Amino acid sequence: MARSTPNWTAFTEVITTLNAINDNEEIHATVKIRVIGYIEGLLNFETVLTAQVYLQIFSCSMLLSKYLQTEQIDLLTVHGMLGQLVDSMQKKRDDFQVCPDSAAEFVQRAYGQPARLSKTDVGLVVEASSNKTTETPQMYGG
């Protein structure tokens, strides 16, 4: 099955915006510390993998969802669309490796280094660490 190319534009914009806040010298140190935590949380492999799984699910169910919100609903059409949704979801399940691969690729690009996948008892994990060091702002005053 062909590899899916998810649209990560909104997710990337959030990360870019958080980085801009972090780089702004006028932002208070406590805000920067929170921003760094948000960035690390969003770039966590499990978070990215969850987003990828939801992207795959929503890409399959979007047509049915939109149809069910219309005024003129034909039950036979809904039945047919449900059958197509089940088939589509089964194909996604059979090709699930696309999700962790895509998530690992995103994390790899975000950190600018290869992500290393290893299978463990808990599932797939990515051991990726940031190449750039983040300075923790000093708190002065009293």
Instruction: Output the average pLDDT for the chain.
Output: 76
Q: pTM value? A: 0.61
Residue 92 lies in a domain: yes
Residue 31 lies in a domain: no
pLDDT above 60 (res 9): yes
119-138 pLDDT, tens digit per residue, is 332 333 333 333 334 444 44
Q: Which residues contact 78 (CB under 8 A, 6 or more apart)?
A: 64, 67, 68
pLDDT at residue 132, as a whole number:
38
Residue 57 lies in a domain: yes
Residue 38 lies in a domain: no
3-state secondary structure of 13: helix
Residue 37 lies in a domain: no
Number of domains in the chain: 1
Which structural domain, as residue segments, surrounds residue 76?
43-127
CB 64 within 8 A of CB 82: yes
80-105 pLDDT, tens digit per residue, is 999 999 999 999 888 888 888 888 88
- On the CB side of 51, CA atoms within 13 Å amount to 20
